[in-house]
Amino acid sequence: MPNRISIRIDGELVQAERGQTIFEAAQANNRFIPGLCQFKGLSTVGACRLCVVEVQGVNRLLPSCTTPAQDGMAVITRSAKLNDYRRQALELLFAEKNHVCAVCVSNNHCELQAYAQRLGVTNVRYAYRYPRLKVDMSHPRFVIDHNRCVLCTRCVRVCNEVEGAYVWGVAGRGIGSRIACEMDRDWGKASACTNCGKCVQVCPTGALAEKGFAAEEMVKRQDLVERLATIRGTMNPGGSR
């Protein structure tokens, strides 16, 4: 079977590799699709729904990060409908937790903020929930602020798939879901944490940050983790590459 396939992205015929997801094929062909939970080298979960695309012949939107590209497929990555859905997804994220950009360590270096700006989120149509959430500062070097978490689970995946420490997991159900450390203990008491900081670097927002950084100071170094993840990912059946 040939390794190259042909798909149409926004009307243009492009080449992709067999086994690539639509997201990867689009990225390889310089097409922009937003995505908060997707991270190169980690397994995909389709959690954020920002990367939804229209596929001809399918009567619902599909997350491009989990949908494999098929030979002859026609995909729309940009349309008014998609923009509206993506904006709704972002607005729901903003309404769900307490995102206050102005005082955030990741202000100006935040993926959530950048997508909101790029997709034109000027207001949030849903009522904010203002949940009371914890800031766990017990770790000597890092801090997790659940107020800023979008539940992308990049931290969970990088800890499992790259570091192999299995510190992070998701506790609770539905709107009560949250990232939890080991069996829901304080991060500072985690027995498996190696203090490597990969979870901090892959976090798209200011939810995971290094301690002592003031507003706007937390710039994530994702290139290093991405490199590690793609080298290791080739041996990891869970990884997409």
Partner 1 sequence: MPQTITIPHVTRIEGHARVSIHLDDAGEVSGAQLHVTQIRGFEKFTEGRPYYEMPSITARICGICPVSHLLASVKACDAIMAVRIPPAAKLLRDLLHCAQFVQSHALSFFHLSAPDLLLGMDSDPAARNIAGLIEKHPQIARDGIALRRFGQQAIERMAGERVHPSWTVPGGVNKPLSSATRDAILSEIPVARSIARRTVKLIKSILDQFPEEIASFCNAPTMYAGLTSPAGELRWYDGILRFISQEGESLAAVEDPLDYANFIGEAAMPHSYLKAPYFKPRGFPAGEYRVGPMARLNVAASCGTPEADAELAEYRQRLGERPQSAFFYHYARLIECLHGVERMERLLDERRILDTHVRATAGVNEREGVGIIEAPRGVLIHHYQVDEHGAITWANLIVATGHNNLAMSRGVEQVARHFIHNGKVEEGMLNRVSALIRAYDPCLSCSTHALGQVPLAIDILRPDGVAVQTLTTGQAD
Residues that bind partner 1 (CB under 8 A): 102-103, 105, 107, 134-135, 137-138, 140, 143, 145, 188, 211-217
Nearest CB to partner 1, comparing residues 144 and 156: 144
- CB of residue 238 to partner 1, shortest distance in Å: 33
Tokens of 90: 């972002």
- CB of residue 216 to partner 1, shortest distance in Å: 5
- CB of residue 138 to partner 1, shortest distance in Å: 5
Between vectors from CA 205 to CA 187 and to CA 172, what angle results, nearest 5°? 50
Q: How far apart are CA 99 and CA 164, in angstroms?
A: 30
Nearest CB to partner 1, comparing residues 129 and 227: 129
Nearest CB to partner 1, comparing residues 57 and 212: 212
Q: How far apart are CA 112 and CA 50, in angstroms?
A: 10
Nearest CB to partner 1, comparing residues 39 and 142: 142
- CB of residue 208 to partner 1, shortest distance in Å: 13
Nearest Cα residue to 53 out of 29, 22, 84: 22
Nearest Cα residue to 75 out of 149, 23, 3, 134: 23
Burial (CB count <10 Å: 0-12, 13-18, 19+), residue 107: middle
- CB of residue 150 to partner 1, shortest distance in Å: 19
Nearest CB to partner 1, comparing residues 82 and 101: 101
Rg (CA), the chain: 18
Burial (CB count <10 Å: 0-12, 13-18, 19+), residue 92: middle
